[in-house]
Amino acid sequence: MLSKPLLTLKIDVDTYRGTREGMGKLVRMLAAHQARATFLFSLGPDHTGWALRRALRPGFFSKVSRTSVVEHYGLKTLMYGTLLPGPDIGKQCVQELRAVRDAGFECGIHTWDHTLWQDNVAKRGAAWTIGMMRKAATRYQQVFGTEPHTHGAAGWQMNVSAFVEHDTAGYRYASDGRAILDERGAMVYPGNGPHRLRNGNTLLKCVQLPTTLPTLDELLGCEIDGKTLSTANVAEHILALTAENRRDHVYTLHAELEGQKLAPIFEQLLTGWKAQGYEFASMGDYYEKVKDTELPICPVTWGELPGRSGRLIVQGKAA
């Protein structure tokens, strides 16, 4: 009997508000569907307001207007680090963080300071990068009483030193990058999926589990196949992608979106994926499935994706 394809749910928790308000709703939704998932936490200060410095980046304003950033993140969150001090998530939300673990979900690191990492890591050196990662790891240990074992990069932003640090920390798997997608959100290279990275002549050990589906904020407001995607039809579009390409997938969702105003869309997706025969999985579950297989070796690669401004880590072509 053939095993079901996995739908790995990777949940990025970017902000103080998402930690306080969005995570709990997601935990309850997932439990109702008996769905496994991985939560990745931002563990230091919330400086979301600093993200307004991206205003000059091509595509920034179109993304903001399409996805109603103020509505989903809240005006207060957009002032953290500017008009308001950024709350320390790992100190002020210990109870909420531990509740996710206690509910039986896999936990890992998203970042220390989401905005600081996303806007700087691509151009920073080893000392800055490793310092940020180890600060997050220390806070994780303080919150959970155990060492972290996995990571998913904020904004899919990394550098070579960050990937090397995964091996130093002993991470067996992480989800730091993306599969390359076309304008519909379909995978350009069907072979994209779990892989290992090569840094020059060095083969890194940590297995990468890239996100293979578009995110809601990349799709909402876009015109695809002659129709504008909205909250009324975006779930149907994503479900069409997983029906057409029935294989293991990684879907990245956000506590600030699917855990709040876009929760009804996520409910539709969970119901639809179950109907399509997918089995919900954590990143750890996916790793266990592929760890003994021969995985492609890919270079560290940057690229662009439809609906998202700027460059991010994407899966390169295997050697």
In the chain, the domains with their CATH numbers are 6-315 (3.20.20.370)
- pLDDT at residue 187, as a whole number: 95
Which residue in the block uniquely carries the two structure tokens 């290279």?
189
Kindly report, residue by residue over 154-186, the tens digit of the pLDDT: 999 999 999 999 999 999 999 999 999 999 999
CA angle 213, 214, 215 (to 5 degrees): 120
Q: What is the mean pLDDT of residues 5-30?
A: 96
Instruction: Express as a percent the part of the chain with pLDDT over 70.
Output: 88
Kindly report, residue by residue over 78-110, the tens digit of the pLDDT: 554 565 567 899 999 999 999 999 999 999 999
- pLDDT at residue 71, as a whole number: 58
Residue 11 CA to residue 106 CA, distance in Å, equals 10
Could you tell me the pTM of the whole model?
0.91
- pLDDT at residue 72, as a whole number: 47
pLDDT tops 60 at residue 64: no
| pLDDT, mean over the chain | 91
Cα distances (angstroms) measured from residue 178 to each of 63, 251, 271, 274, 309: 18, 10, 24, 23, 14
Helix (H) or strand (E) holding 240: helix 234-244
Between 61 and 303, whose confidence is greater?
A: 303
pLDDT tops 60 at residue 69: no
Note whether 129 and 161 are within 8 A (CB): yes
- pLDDT at residue 53, as a whole number: 56
Helix (H) or strand (E) holding 137: helix 126-144
pLDDT tops 70 at residue 290: yes
